[in-house]
Structure 1
Amino acid sequence: MNEEKMLDGKVVVVTGAGGGIGRDIALMAGAHGAHVVVNDIGASLRGEGQDEGPAASVVQEIEEAGGKAVANTDSVSEPDAAQRIIETAIDTFGRVDCIVNNAGILRDTFFHKMTDEEWDSVLKVHLNGTFNVSRAAAPHFKAQGSGSMVHMTSTSGLIGNLAQGNYSAAKLGITALSKSIALDMQRFGVRSNCIAPFAWSRMISSIKVDTPEQEQRVARLKQMTPAKVAPLAIYLLADACDTSGQIFAVRNNEIFLISQPRPIRSVHNSEGWTPAQIGAQAIPALKASYYPLEVSADVFSWDPV
């Protein structure tokens, strides 16, 4: 295993790679010998507008460092456009080996105030986008008997956050999709994993800061750069990795393996349950194992190291 070139000769597609975490993953993929498709529509944080500049700028950075890359500005939210992203890899470099589903937008608002558009647009980019790009790549991975996918999830979905019902639902949905991909594609030698990144980026910069607790959280996030997330993504893409169906989090210099839902306690009544018996017996027995209504910052409450 060559530590310096873990992706030597691989063709890697990174969506939302015009800045932030995606940019750092694309740059590191190029540094590790990959040919990189830098996908980014160049939109605002809310997904508005389009600009070729961000993707082209990252391509230039990769090429100036001696790597090979090509820009793509198609939207992951539309199946045909996602197909064109993969076709860019095939047409330019002859194959596709890895994808990183990183593209995302935000429409933060409280659930009871959320519009249809705010819900639909976030689901289309995050969850549909992950599906669209993964499905477009799948036939190529199946035919060659290899491939790796890394999808960006979030502790907003895994744990919870205020005013992010659309984003949280999409990000938790991505973890279930990733597990299904890992199961369905295992026999073809294809791996699928998720990363929940802690990093200060354009997307995270939109967090509402209206309490001392939120100010402290933002101060901690500013210490965590997108570059800290890239090494794990590169490893998960590499042939040296045999991991699949897992959820990781990266928080500065810490890497976490995140739990997946499993039964933790049960109650049994051989005669079956009535509603009254559930209230009197079952719920009191189960309540000791309830999860509190926490947000991500409550669980990851210590300073990053």
Structure 2
Amino acid sequence: MIDPLSSIVTLLQPKAAFSKVVHAAGKWRIRREEIGNPFYCVVLEGNCEFTLKGEESIYLTAGDFVLVPEAHAFTVASSHPLALTEADTVPIKTAASTYFVGEAEQELNAHLLIGHCQFEAPDSKILVSLLPKLVHLREAKRLTTLVELVIEESLAQRPGRDSVLARLLEILLIEAFRTKMDTPEVPSLLVGLADERLAIAIRKIHQDVSQSWTIDELAKEASLSRSAFFQRFNKAVGCTPMEYVIAWRMAIAKDLLRRQKYTMATIAERIGYQSASAFSSAFSKHTGQPPSKFLLENNLAVRASYIEFVSE
């Protein structure tokens, strides 16, 4: 059986962007406006508060781990933060990838590992929408070790660094998400996988994306009635079964298009469409552009990245 969680994380193509060690003292507040990239934080010592815009603040203590797959606006602050009228704290660099925030004359009250990464996949929003908005785990020793390895590898500049970082980030994300499955909350893929019957159907979808699945067939795999399966899936995952099937097909299609090794007819067959025209129509409806335009834009993006690389 193909593991849906692993296949989604692999397709996201995580890439390390920035990681740092933060020491904090006294009153402090770091507020960030991001562009939707993943953010993660581990508290090694002390405590602090983390607030994702639109959500309740979370009190973090030593051993806590937080992951936001798509961060836009958030705040990390001391437990007794600055007044809202006071300016945000400016981090001071003290060593390579190490920063101090707060009041120098006060005792340290937090030791954090903070990191950002990027999802290289152009369809990342589709995949991220299937994941939890926020992951908060306590006593996350394994995740702490993984974050430490990411930071160590980022600083080392050894051969194969980018490949090692990509694999470490994949493991970090999978570990965070599968641990979160033990405490599911809002609808997401993790809630679906935590349901034994829905998990069977989800794995079947990932195992054979070329299969022309119907709700009746998926309900039979899950040993549920059609209506019970539809309602249970929609409530758990946050989308209908067929919306999930199409989203996964399009994610696979984009990956195959980027590789530039397959004809439209071959891609259509591999993801469950009877012809290239049927695939093109479905792709255009789902993404807002035909496969040919996506392929052209992807080629231009790759070429721009290469020019930037050789120019450095």
TM range (shorter): under 0.3
Could you state the TM-score of these two structures normalised by the residue count of structure 2?
0.25
Give the strand-richer structure, 1 or 2.
2
Larger Rg: 1 or 2?
2
Could you state the TM-score of these two structures normalised by the residue count of structure 1?
0.26
Higher relative contact order (CA 8 A, sep 6+): 2
